[in-house]
Amino acid sequence: MADAFDEVTPLLPGPQSGPTPLPKLQLAIIMLVQICEPLTSQSIYPYINQLVSEVIGGDKRKVGYYAESLFFVTEAMTVLHWSSASDRIGRKPILLIGLLGSAISMLCFGLSRTFWALVVSRCLTGLLNGNTGVMKSVLGDLTDSSNRAQGFAYVPLIWATGASLGPFIGGSLSRPHERFPTIFAGKFWEEFPYFLPCIATGGFVFLSFLVVLLFFKETVPLPRKNEQQRKRPEGDDIESVNMSTYSNPSDGPLPLRQLLTFPILISVSNYVALAFLNIALAALLPLFLAMPIEIGGLGLPPHSIGLILATYGATTGLFQVSFFSLIVRRFGERRVFIYGLATCLPIFALFPVISLVAHNSGLSFPIWILVGCVLVLGAMMDSSFGAIFMYITGSAPKGSRGTVNGLSQTTASISRAIGPALATSLFSFSVEWNILGGYAVYVFFFLLSALALLLARRLPEKVWDEGD
């Protein structure tokens, strides 16, 4: 669709030129797909520790991080293949496979009563979930340079909504035979006390599957791709086809090695750095809020932590929808990305400040002001995601958007698999050995943030024009 806009828009007279109207129905369907991932990935966290302890026992404090790492590791193994396939056979079939796989894996997770059943069902979610990269490719297909910021502004809002609803569903619907005995009486609900939240989220994903099946319109120009394939010499391997075959980047997907260009590599590298810092913050914040004041935290109860995290999600979503496209038009993608990434510096610096204030005066009013500053800065940090997505989309040849987004999602998934375990381990190590007063973990991520800013400065002032 973006191709058609690119061909027609320059012919419009000056007074009529402006942002291309967004295709609202198709955009809404893609946002429906987007919300499925945080629903399925995060709905398990309110009960995962208890579920595993009931099934196998073990260290309940680490189970959530293992589950998250399993998801991201298996996603990293396959997301590039799913995204590349979407360039060849279309976005719609891959979206349907991902949604159906996620729905089935959630039902399997709710019915798991052994350790290996839990592992297999969780890995299945990651293996069949290539939709994150494909969804970004669809957004690139549906938008052009005039309205891309407006389209990508909805991504953090939808993610934040799913990240808030997921834990709420998981916590509210788990063990229904105890919470709602008159409705969910029976041996089945006692034997599978966590099946209800799984079937609720799985049912929503299956509903999304039906919506995509019935109403989503393919965005990859498959007929043109097929014509290009018919022009290729029979028996030639794709790696040996002359580059003149791909003289027009919209003709078809390029081999992966021909996509390892500076624009793509620098865009993906910045995305990985941002994703790593973001997931480290996501792991450190609830840990910091929960740990006792005497060991560097705030000692808050679970309901207070839940309220703070929900506020963080809501603040992030509202900020992106309200201001992202405006600040991109005002400052440009590069400045938005760098300014958003730069907020990591004060965020990680504020943790020891908050801890010291809590040591001296307890949970006083200044504590809540400082925590509020962390949440606001975090919402500003998330603006960097929309900006770097625009760089990645712009760096990709039109016929290879899926492959490029798959490459970015693969590397980001690896960093997200490592980030939580590294962050929480460094927290424990810093406190246990009293390194830099127990605050070494924040110094470490402060320095990483500074290095990430040096990398961000390699981005050009303007986003590349559709892979040029």
Place of tokens 């945080």: 38
Which pLDDT band holds residue 47 (cuts at 50, 70, 90)?
Answer: confident
Q: How many helices (H) and strands (E) does the chain have?
A: 21, 0
Q: Give the start-end residues of each E strand in 144-262.
A: none
Residue 341: pLDDT band (50, 70, 90) is very high
- Higher confidence at residue 267 or residue 405? 267
Examine the pLDDT at 65 and tell me if it is beyond 70: no
Residue showing tokens 């193994």: 77
Phi–psi pair at 373, nearest 5 degrees: -65, -40
The span from the CA of 48 to the CA of 53, in Å, is: 8
What number does CATH give the domain 256-468? 1.20.1250.20
Q: What pLDDT does residue 247 have?
A: 35
Q: Buried (b) or exposed (e) across 34-50, using 16+ Cβ within 10 A?
A: bbbbbbbbbbbbbbbbe
In the predicted structure, residue 235 carries a pLDDT above the cut 50:
no
Residue 41 pLDDT greater than 50, yes or no: yes
Q: Using an 8 Å Cβ cutoff, are 367 and 221 in contact?
A: no
Helix (H, G, I), strand (E, B) or coil at 181: coil
- Asked if 280 contacts 65 with a C-beta cutoff of 8 angstroms, the reply is no
CATH 1.20.1250.20 holds for 21-221: yes
Q: How many Å apart are CA 277 and CA 233, to the nearest integer?
A: 47
pTM assigned to the model: 0.75
Domain boundaries, the chain: 21-221, 256-468
pLDDT average, residue stretch 414-419: 84
The Cα 341–Cα 458 span in angstroms is 14
Average pLDDT over residues 317-326: 82
> Is 37 within 8 Å of 162 (Cβ atoms)?
yes
Sign of CA dihedral 236, 240, 242, 247: positive
Mean pLDDT score of the chain: 81
pLDDT tens, residue by residue, 209-224 = 999 999 999 988 765 4
DSSP for residue 233: P
For the chain, percent of residues with pLDDT exceeding 90: 28
Q: What percent of the chain has pLDDT over 70?
A: 84
User: What per-residue confidence (pLDDT) applies to 93?
Assistant: 93
Q: What is the mean pLDDT of residues 31-42?
A: 86
Matching fold, domains 21-221 and 256-468:
yes
More confident residue, 352 or 240: 352
> Quick one: tokens of 198?
């799984």
| 453-458-459 Cα angle (round to 5) | 100
3-state secondary structure of 382: coil
- 240 pLDDT band (50/70/90 cuts)? very low
Residues 6+ apart with CB under 8 A from 318: 157
Residue 292 pLDDT > 50: yes
- Between CA 414 and CA 417 the distance in angstroms is 5
Contact yes or no for 430/446 (Cβ under 8 A): no
Distance of CA 21 to the CA centre of its chain: 26
CA distance linking residue 306 with residue 344, whole number of Å: 22
Query: Using CA of residue 74, residue 76, residue 81, residue 83, what is the dihedral sign?
Result: positive
